[in-house]
A and B are shown apart, each in its own frame.
Chain A
Amino acid sequence: MAFDENVKTEFKVIGQRVSRPDGIDKVTGKALYGADLSAPGMLIGRVLRSPHAHARIKKIDTSASEAMKGVKAVVVNSDLAEPEDDFFRDVKDNCLARDKALYDGHAVAAVAATSRSIARAAIRAIKVEYEELPSVTDVDEAMKPDAPVVQEGRADETVPAGSGPNVTTYLEFGHGDLEAGFAKADKIIERSFKTAATHQGYIEPHACLASMGADGRGDLWCCTQGQYNVRTICAEVCGIEATQLRVTASEIGGGFGGKTTCFIEPVALALSRKSGKPVKIVMSREEVFRATGPTVSSSSDVKVGMTKDGRITAASAKLRYQGGAFPCGTVEFGAQSAFAAYDLEAVRSYGWNTLTNRPKEAAYRAPGAPMAIYAVESVVDELCQELGLDPLDVRLKNAAKKGTLASYGPTFNDIGLVATLEAAKAHPHYAAPLGENQGRGLSCGFWFNFGGNTCVSLNVNHDGTVGVVEGNPDIGGSRASISMMAAEELDIPYEKVRTVITDTNSLGFNDVTDGSRVTFAVGLATIEAARAAKREMCKRAAQIWGIDAEAVVWEDGAAKPSGPNAGDHPPMTLAEIAADMDSTGGPIAGHHEVNADGAGVSFGVHLVDTEVDPETGATKILRYTVFQDAGKAIHPDYVEGQMQGGAVQGIGWALNEEYIYGEDGRLQNPMFLDYRVPVASDLPAIDTVILEIPNPGHPYGVRGVGETSIVPPLAAISNAVSRAADVRMSELPMSPPRVLKAMSER
């Protein structure tokens, strides 16, 4: 469904590389992030965490801690309210453990004290009596019928009888006759894969400053991807009314999905209510790794059949995900997206989620898709190798396009996969020569994108400038993009617009900054708000001229008489109308509220060259090119930035990053030294090719760009390493010892 009849294609501001409005604050150190705000009389909050992977909490004695000088409050699970809904109860029980500590690092109690050193001592003074229980952290082990039971009774109605006690959901997608399809294949490959859990790795640890009175009125400052979502969760978990809690989002130091939920905010509010003083909690990096959401780890079996000339005849994937100690639905998106890039007659994907004694999974950029597509794209590449076929030609031959029945159910509309593949094929990178121990890999990627609830208010000022008020934290330059869309629609210079992100009590509800939704949905609402303001300004001009409002149009940033009145009056600019607005009816503003749908799915293709050192098994990324359909690129720099950033997170996932648990279920690498994210010297330049295939669901053709880019790197790099090392890799990360071992066994 087209959002409006004439999708705009000629632009003045859109597509320029303007400077972001928060730039100076961010390069001078003035920008305020989660940990940067303090309040007079503030206490320091600190959280006590379980040293055990799985233990019954028999008793928590806080008396010694409470008796310490300078300790103003101690809270445990029972100090929070009891939400009825499972979702909120799980968030609560993750913020402070109920009757069992479910993973190493699970919060058990928290204190607020007058100094950091007293808070530290107060934590040590809390006596917790644990009864240790057997634990399980591996996805395949956790699915076994005799596995330690993480939580009882969490399976939903889809779980087949006879499944293990930790399986919480099962699902299946696809169509066609698999058996007949595989019978037509000349070659069938079936392989099993594993991927490690990785963390979003935002550089800013979670932090908040809470102030709440005994009457349940409060203010909360925190780094989050969605202040409204924080308010909803805190209201449920603290038992207060939404309107009484004003949440202000600080500048956010990265999120990638990991800051779409709460870990410390309800705890800080509870400590503040109990102590009657503001409370600040800042997580350490170790706490971030042990207790905030990494992505799922996975185990999968993929089977694909192909004819000699490269046509896929049938394909299936069994995906097993663990998302930690609470139920999660991430495998749904893996199972839906696994084969999205292909036009298949017979396809099936099956997904299981299981509980483990690990931290509760949080969304991570295209949640669930990278690990599924990694397995599928690895098998397709191996088939190409075995059959002597060009991997890009095979993708083109089988590519999903308009009219393809998607493996997840619907029939595709306009999609840009073929154009993306063709761009990759035509790029000099694809024909560049390779040396010894070097290999080239590629992979397709896919993500849905979505819109969601959005409010925007646009205010015209007396001096002809415009303020845009929106409610979605800006993670990667969205304030610039939103200002650009307002300027474009009003036809005024970008510099005349300032966009601010407001608190929960100053604008209606907004969904979280996630799902690659902000440029699409907030942009759409901004354009509509600008149109409302333009209508009002045309009306004011018509009154001044004494003609019908219908006989006025908005052109070149000004109201102009049209039709029979055309040329009767000189155009009246936005600034001129604004200067007189007090006398023509008062303030001029536009606003728009929508639950936006119609975000376009997006495809990407990544090409990578690697060199594997036969002595050490270490992989070097030599060259990397990202091709992605962005729809219309509003600010190309920030579109490229999303493509480059996602690719590099994927490189980390493919080569180094993993949660490593010991036999005791304790996390062994909760710091950046041992959980190794890519550093500048690991990488080459990341080249980008933006394809702009307009999304008919947005007035300027925007899709979403933030998430698709993390999907292809896993398989692209695995395929490149497999070719360079001459052995098929099937487990991530491909750390040097793992590659060396595979090479020695080939």
Chain B
Amino acid sequence: MVQVKLWGSLRDLADGQEMVEVEASNFKQVLEQLEAKHPALGPRIKRGVSLALDGVIYREAWFTPVSEENEVVLMPYMVGG
């Protein structure tokens, strides 16, 4: 199981949890499982999110492998100027 950390304002949409456990071996599965477990997260995930894996931020990359060893943090989709 992979522990995914949600940012504060998403916790209300995930039964108040900060850490959500999902069965996933890559980012695509993380996002699918998050949405399946907590449908209220769906709109936000559709609008765009980034994932930080051990401190490195990924904007997309569905097939990036993850395991329970990794720190996985959901973040808003990065933009820049």
Where the two chains meet, the residues of A that have a C-beta atom closer than 8 Å to any C-beta of B are 1, 156-158, 170-174, 200, 256-258, 260, 329, 332-333, 336, 348, 350, 363-367, 406, 408-413, 447-452, 514-517, 595, 597-599, 601, 697, 706-707
When the two chains form their complex, are residues A408 and B71 in contact, meaning their CB atoms are under 8 A apart?
Answer: no
When the two chains form their complex, are residues B80 and A413 in contact, meaning their CB atoms are under 8 A apart?
Answer: no
Q: Does B60 contact A (CB under 8 A)?
A: yes
**Residue of B whose beta carbon sits closest to that of A169:** B9
Known A-B contacts A409-B52, A413-B54; A157 and B13 likewise in contact (beta carbons under 8 Å): yes
- Please indicate which of the listed interface residues B40, B43, B54, B75 has the most CB atoms of chain A within 10 Å of its own CB: B75
> Which chain B positions have C-beta within 8 A of A332?
76
Q: Name 6 interchain pairs, CB-CB below 8 A, sorted by A.
A: A172-B9, A173-B7, A329-B79, A363-B81, A367-B79, A409-B5
When the two chains form their complex, are residues A409 and B75 in contact, meaning their CB atoms are under 8 A apart?
Answer: yes
- Please indicate which of the listed interface residues B54, B55, B80 has the most CB atoms of chain A within 10 Å of its own CB: B80
> Which chain A positions have C-beta within 8 A of B61?
595, 597
Known A-B contacts A329-B79, A595-B60; A410 and B7 likewise in contact (beta carbons under 8 Å): no
When the two chains form their complex, are residues A597 and B57 in contact, meaning their CB atoms are under 8 A apart?
Answer: yes
When the two chains form their complex, are residues A598 and B54 in contact, meaning their CB atoms are under 8 A apart?
Answer: no
When the two chains form their complex, are residues A517 and B80 in contact, meaning their CB atoms are under 8 A apart?
Answer: yes
When the two chains form their complex, are residues A336 and B8 in contact, meaning their CB atoms are under 8 A apart?
Answer: no
Q: Does B59 contact A (CB under 8 A)?
A: yes
When the two chains form their complex, are residues B55 and A412 in contact, meaning their CB atoms are under 8 A apart?
Answer: yes
Alpha-carbon separation in the docked complex, A171 to B76 (Å)? 10
Where the two chains meet, the residues of B that have a C-beta atom closer than 8 Å to any C-beta of A are 5, 7-10, 13, 40, 43-44, 47, 52-61, 64, 71, 73-81
Which 10 A-B residue pairs are closest in the complex by CB-CB distance? Answer: A257-B81, A515-B80, A172-B8, A410-B52, A413-B55, A409-B73, A363-B81, A365-B81, A172-B9, A332-B76
When the two chains form their complex, are residues A257 and B5 in contact, meaning their CB atoms are under 8 A apart?
Answer: no
> Which chain B positions have C-beta within 8 A of A515?
78-81
Given contacts A156-B47, A409-B74, 5 further A-B contacts (CB under 8 A): A410-B54, A410-B73, A451-B59, A515-B78, A517-B80
When the two chains form their complex, are residues B80 and A367 in contact, meaning their CB atoms are under 8 A apart?
Answer: yes
> Which chain B positions have C-beta within 8 A of A174?
8
> Which chain B positions have C-beta within 8 A of A367?
79-81
**Residue of B whose beta carbon sits closest to that of A157:** B43
When the two chains form their complex, are residues A448 and B58 in contact, meaning their CB atoms are under 8 A apart?
Answer: no
When the two chains form their complex, are residues B76 and A450 in contact, meaning their CB atoms are under 8 A apart?
Answer: no
- Shortest CB-to-CB span from B10 to chain A, Å, is 8
- Within the complex, which residue of A1, A158, A256 is in contact with B9, where a contact is CB–CB below 8 Å? A158
- Within the complex, which residue of A364, A410, A412, A599 is in contact with B81, where a contact is CB–CB below 8 Å? A364
- Shortest CB-to-CB span from A202 to chain B, Å, is 11
- Shortest CB-to-CB span from B3 to chain A, Å, is 12
> Which chain B positions have C-beta within 8 A of A173?
7-8
- Shortest CB-to-CB span from A445 to chain B, Å, is 14
- Within the complex, which residue of A329, A452, A707 is in contact with B59, where a contact is CB–CB below 8 Å? A452
- Shortest CB-to-CB span from A744 to chain B, Å, is 37
Alpha-carbon separation in the docked complex, A383 to B44 (Å)? 37
Known A-B contacts A173-B8, A450-B57, A452-B59; A410 and B71 likewise in contact (beta carbons under 8 Å): yes
> Which chain A positions have C-beta within 8 A of B7?
171-173, 408-409
When the two chains form their complex, are residues A448 and B57 in contact, meaning their CB atoms are under 8 A apart?
Answer: yes
Alpha-carbon separation in the docked complex, A16 to B56 (Å)? 29
Known A-B contacts A157-B43, A173-B8; A514 and B79 likewise in contact (beta carbons under 8 Å): yes
Alpha-carbon separation in the docked complex, A260 to B79 (Å)? 11
- Shortest CB-to-CB span from A181 to chain B, Å, is 16
> Which chain B positions have C-beta within 8 A of A157?
13, 40, 43-44
When the two chains form their complex, are residues B80 and A257 in contact, meaning their CB atoms are under 8 A apart?
Answer: yes
> Which chain B positions have C-beta within 8 A of A601?
57
- Please indicate which of the listed interface residues B60, B78, B79 has the most CB atoms of chain A within 10 Å of its own CB: B79
- Shortest CB-to-CB span from B28 to chain A, Å, is 14
Alpha-carbon separation in the docked complex, A29 to B2 (Å)? 58
Alpha-carbon separation in the docked complex, A367 to B76 (Å)? 13
> Which chain B positions have C-beta within 8 A of A413?
54-56
> Which chain B positions have C-beta within 8 A of A364?
81
Alpha-carbon separation in the docked complex, A450 to B48 (Å)? 15
> Which chain B positions have C-beta within 8 A of A172?
7-9
**Residue of B whose beta carbon sits closest to that of A329:** B76
Alpha-carbon separation in the docked complex, A517 to B81 (Å)? 10
Alpha-carbon separation in the docked complex, A573 to B35 (Å)? 55
- Shortest CB-to-CB span from A331 to chain B, Å, is 10
- Shortest CB-to-CB span from B40 to chain A, Å, is 7
> Which chain A positions have C-beta within 8 A of B75?
336, 408-410
Alpha-carbon separation in the docked complex, A706 to B8 (Å)? 29
**Residue of B whose beta carbon sits closest to that of A367:** B81
Alpha-carbon separation in the docked complex, A447 to B58 (Å)? 15
Alpha-carbon separation in the docked complex, A157 to B14 (Å)? 12
Alpha-carbon separation in the docked complex, A260 to B81 (Å)? 8
- Shortest CB-to-CB span from B46 to chain A, Å, is 11
- Shortest CB-to-CB span from A283 to chain B, Å, is 19
- Within the complex, which residue of A171, A348, A412, A450 is in contact with B80, where a contact is CB–CB below 8 Å? A450
When the two chains form their complex, are residues B9 and A170 in contact, meaning their CB atoms are under 8 A apart?
Answer: yes
- Shortest CB-to-CB span from A228 to chain B, Å, is 16
Alpha-carbon separation in the docked complex, A706 to B61 (Å)? 24
Alpha-carbon separation in the docked complex, A363 to B55 (Å)? 24
> Which chain B positions have C-beta within 8 A of A350?
8
> Which chain A positions have C-beta within 8 A of B74?
409
Alpha-carbon separation in the docked complex, A473 to B80 (Å)? 15
- Shortest CB-to-CB span from A693 to chain B, Å, is 15
- Shortest CB-to-CB span from A658 to chain B, Å, is 19
When the two chains form their complex, are residues A366 and B80 in contact, meaning their CB atoms are under 8 A apart?
Answer: yes
> Which chain B positions have C-beta within 8 A of A333?
76, 78-79
Alpha-carbon separation in the docked complex, A365 to B57 (Å)? 19
**Residue of A whose beta carbon sits closest to that of B71:** A411
When the two chains form their complex, are residues A363 and B71 in contact, meaning their CB atoms are under 8 A apart?
Answer: no
> Which chain A positions have C-beta within 8 A of B57?
410, 448, 450, 597, 599, 601
Alpha-carbon separation in the docked complex, A601 to B71 (Å)? 17
Alpha-carbon separation in the docked complex, A447 to B57 (Å)? 12
> Which chain A positions have C-beta within 8 A of B73?
409-410
Alpha-carbon separation in the docked complex, A174 to B75 (Å)? 12
